[in-house]
Amino acid sequence: MKRFQDPDYGILVRDPRRLLLSYQELIRACVWDFVSKGMFDAGMIQDLIQNINEELLKRLPNLQAGYNGSFLVRTYVAATVRNICLRIREQENRTVPAGVLVEEDLPNRLETEKDRYSIEQMKRVFHAITLQYHRKRPKLIICLKLWCRLPLSENDVVSWYQDCPPVAMQQILEHFGGIYARRTDADVFTTATAFFNLAAERDNTEDALRKWTMVRISEIIQLLNGDPPKRSFDKDSLQILLHEYFSPFLHEE
């Protein structure tokens, strides 16, 4: 059962095409997020938006049937858009020029398959690392999502703040349940600090949460790289891994 009424839910049920039309800025913001991370060229934006809209139109029945109220509808659609972008990116990496497959094409294809395996392997490693934080894991997940500007779900919040009042839940999801990619670290963590202080009944400084997150990020990078280091994770590559780790909740076959 939803903790609050999302007005977009009615539009999703009755007129999903109108909903997609109203979400064009949301779709554009998702695409720009991928462009800003260097995953797509800026010249591809219009083609990407067109491809995404075509794909969303095909998926409308699944979107209607799959929505369970755990996320805002905007978050639900945004996550689907991100998954479409990830698949387009993956297809680009796997694309082989038309014609006869020549011997020199094989290393590129094998490298792509190896990269895919490596990503899946590192997602499992990352998951095991998060389990080491025990009671702090729900807080860690939220802070990592805030750092990556990934949407928070109601389940994320309840795992961390079990007695979260409905009003606070609505405010948290309004701030962080959708697209907030263009907000600065200072803005994001200052806003989030108020909610963390409410949950913990504390009065931490505005910068304390950001610093706590940065320390955890450094720890995770060190653990991912190993001792002695066998990998070369940094903040940028960790963000890519986190997008891969958190986004499959709406993956469709």
Query: Going by C-beta distance under 8 Å and a sequence separation of 6 or more, which residues neighbour residue 85?
Result: 30, 31, 34, 39, 40, 48, 52
- Give φ, ψ of 230 to 5 degrees: -115, -10
- What is the residue-level pLDDT of the chain in tens, covering all 253 positions? 344 467 888 899 899 999 998 888 888 888 887 777 777 887 788 889 999 999 999 999 988 888 877 677 887 888 888 888 888 887 776 554 444 434 444 344 334 444 444 667 888 889 999 999 999 999 999 999 999 888 888 889 999 988 889 999 999 988 998 878 778 888 999 999 999 988 877 787 878 999 999 999 999 999 988 888 777 788 877 887 887 788 654 433 3
DSSP 38-91: TSS-GGGHHHHHHHHHHHHHHHHHHHHHH--SSS-HHHHHHHHHHHHHHHHHHH
Please report how many Cα atoms fall inside a 13 Å half-sphere around the Cα of residue 212, on the Cβ side: 20
- Distance, CA of 208 to CA of 200 (rounded, Å): 13
All structural domains of the chain? 7-94 (1.10.1740), 118-250 (no CATH)
Whether the predicted model's global pTM rises above the 0.95 cut: no
